[in-house]
Chain A
């Protein structure tokens, strides 16, 4: 079975400092990995995805993620955090075991990011 782990329930960072939200994965075969963000009482907003190609993926709102196959990680990063980045972040992996296509995402438990002035 495929899975992702987000080892930190909460990450605190000062505004203007770089931020990292960690994600590790366990899959058979090549992974399709995603990051989403959720603001209070809202759905999930797509940030970025890794399918293949460059290990550094650039996404929305200045976020990027680095795919590391040897460490089975897909950490989310931003060079300079904003207070408005405070939200719940989810890493997800596409389940490719079902075959014939299919859109089952398996999510991590989420990491609450708090950016303070």
Chain B
């Protein structure tokens, strides 16, 4: 099976702009989660989508939003970019087992730089 893919791999934006990141999960996986990785804060959970519905949300401002399509592909949007949004954004997919025993498989990430 193909792994999790994320596009684009690299992005450079300026403050105030908005950006959309895309994630295609492993075939058959219905859950997509997003994480932000920075040197200062480490890995932080943004949100999770399962069957087109947001199932969990982390502690990020409303500028961060996402959605999931019927084919399980997901997009993440960040509006009004700030310098502190510069990070590696990681997407992870899993079957979405309600018991919570499934494994999340990560994509290679999108490196966002805000100037």
Is there an interface contact between A101 and B103, defined as CB atoms closer than 8 Å?
A: no
Which residues of B from 1 to 59 have beta carbons under 8 Å from A? 4, 6, 31, 33, 35, 42-43, 45, 48, 50, 55-56, 58
Tell me how many residues of B have a C-beta within 8 Å of chain A: 31
Provide the bound-state CA to CA distance between A22 and B63, in Å. Answer: 36
| Interface assignment of A17: CB less than 8 Å from any CB of chain B | no
B interface, over-half SS: strand
**Inside 8 A of A102's CB, which chain B residues have their CB?**
48, 55-56, 100
Closest B residue to A92 using CB positions: B43
Cβ-defined partner of B104 (8 Å) among A46, A95, A106? A46
Is there an interface contact between B90 and A44, defined as CB atoms closer than 8 Å?
A: yes
Which residues of B from 91 to 106 have beta carbons under 8 Å from A? 92, 94, 96-106
Is there an interface contact between B106 and A103, defined as CB atoms closer than 8 Å?
A: no
Tell me how many residues of A have a C-beta within 8 Å of chain B: 27
Closest B residue to A52 using CB positions: B101
Cβ-defined partner of B55 (8 Å) among A43, A45, A96, A100? A100
Provide the bound-state CA to CA distance between A101 and B114, in Å. Answer: 34
What is the count of residue pairs linking A and B with beta-carbon distances less than 8 angstroms? 75
Provide the bound-state CA to CA distance between A80 and B55, in Å. Answer: 41
Query: Given A49-B103, A51-B101, A110-B42, are A103 and B56 neighbors across the interface (CB < 8 Å)?
Result: yes
Cβ-defined partner of A103 (8 Å) among B90, B96, B111? B96
Is there an interface contact between A46 and B100, defined as CB atoms closer than 8 Å?
A: no
Cβ-defined partner of B105 (8 Å) among A46, A95, A104? A46
Which residues of A from 74 to 109 have beta carbons under 8 Å from B? 90, 94-96, 98, 100-109
Query: Given A43-B106, A43-B108, A46-B104, are A104 and B45 neighbors across the interface (CB < 8 Å)?
Result: yes
**Inside 8 A of A36's CB, which chain B residues have their CB?**
106
- Closest beta carbon of chain B to A42's beta carbon, Å: 6
Query: Given A32-B101, A51-B101, A101-B50, are A42 and B33 neighbors across the interface (CB < 8 Å)?
Result: no
In the complex, besides A101-B96, A105-B33, 18 extra interface pairs with C-beta distance below 8 angstroms are A32-B101, A34-B104, A44-B92, A45-B106, A94-B100, A96-B100, A98-B56, A100-B98, A102-B55, A102-B100, A103-B48, A103-B96, A103-B100, A104-B33, A104-B48, A104-B58, A107-B43, A108-B42
